[in-house]
Amino acid sequence: MGMLKDFKEFALKGNVVDLAVAVIIGGAFGAIVSSLVDDVITPLLLNPALKAANAENIDSLSWGAVKYGKFLSAVIKFLIIAFILFLIVRFMKKLMKEKPAAPAGPTPTEQLLTEIRDELKKK
C-alpha cells in the first residue's frame, strides 16, 4: 500500500504531469507541422516549377496536388488530443486538491494571553 501511495504522489506532481502533457502536445504539433510542409507548402512550391518545366501538360498539373484534407486531418487530430489532455489534467487537479486542513489550535502565546484576559475579567 505504501508503494501505491508513493506512486500516486509521484504521478500527480505538477512537474511530471506538465512534462507528460508537453511531450504529447509536442508530438501532436509535430504532426501538424509535418503535414503542413509535406502536404501544403511543398506542393505549392514545386507545382509552379513543374509547370514551367512541363509547359505542354499544364492542365495535368493543378492545385489538386495540395493535400488540404491531410493537413486538416492533422489539425483535427491535434485538437482532439489537446481536448482529451485538458480533460485528464482537469480530472487530475480535482484528485490533487487536498482537503482543507483543520484550523490550528492557538499558539502558546495566544493561549497565555487568553488566560490573562480571563483572569482580568474575573476581577
- pLDDT of 61 above 60: no
Question: If you write DSSP's letter for every residue of 41-100 in order, what string do you get?
Answer: IHHHHHHHHHHHHTGGGGGGS-GGGS-HHHHHHHHHHHHHHHHHHHHHHHHHHHHHPPPP
Q: By mean pLDDT, which of 20-24, 51-55, 63-67 is the weakest?
A: 51-55
- Which pLDDT tens digit goes with each residue over 17-27? 788 888 999 99
What are the extents of the domains in the chain? 2-99
Q: In the structure, what pLDDT confidence band is assigned to residue 83 with cuts at 50, 70 and 90?
A: very high
Q: Is the pTM of this model over 0.85?
A: no
